[in-house]
């Protein structure tokens, strides 16, 4: 079921709008393939099962299946890449914050030592 949710998320990302799952599929009827039939093909592929032979008898179905597999793989890779980029940005920001914190602490220690030295000179 998670794979199906990924598919609908991909459809939403690529075709926009807040369509219901059925509306999303029915609005994308390439080559006169019904939305239900398309759902069956995609759900079968995403579940890791073999698509039944009667569906593959049509060359349109083969092209459609191949198209969706390529699109989903590309979308998955893009999503993973974006997530990786976000994590890298967070990591770099954390490093920068840690560096700034250490620099600040070092400066505070230096000022404290100078203050103590000034107090000793006065005494």
Q: What is the pLDDT of residues 43-83, one digit of tens each?
A: 666 665 555 555 555 555 566 666 667 776 777 788 888 88
* Domain that residue 18 falls in: 2-122
The residue with greater pLDDT, 105 or 48, is 105
State how many domains the chain has: 1
pLDDT over 90 (residue 88): yes
| Confidence (pLDDT) at 11 | 59
Please give the structure tokens belonging to residue 74: 């590309």
| Confidence (pLDDT) at 50 | 56
| Confidence (pLDDT) at 19 | 44
pLDDT over 80 (residue 26): no
């Amino acid at each position: 079921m998670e794979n199906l949710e990924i598919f609908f998320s991909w459809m939403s990302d690529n075709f926009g709008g807040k369509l219901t799952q059925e509306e999303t599929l029915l609005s994308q009827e390439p080559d006169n393939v019904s939305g239900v039939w398309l759902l069956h093909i995609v759900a079968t592929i995403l579940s890791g099962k073999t698509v039944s032979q009667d569906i593959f008898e049509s060359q349109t179905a083969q092209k459609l299946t191949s198209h969706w597999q390529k699109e989903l793989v590309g979308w998955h890779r893009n999503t993973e890449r974006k997530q990786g980029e976000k994590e890298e940005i967070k990591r770099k920001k954390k490093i920068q914050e840690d560096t700034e914190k250490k620099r600040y602490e070092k400066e505070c220690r230096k000022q404290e030592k100078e203050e103590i030295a000034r107090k000793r000179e006065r005494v």
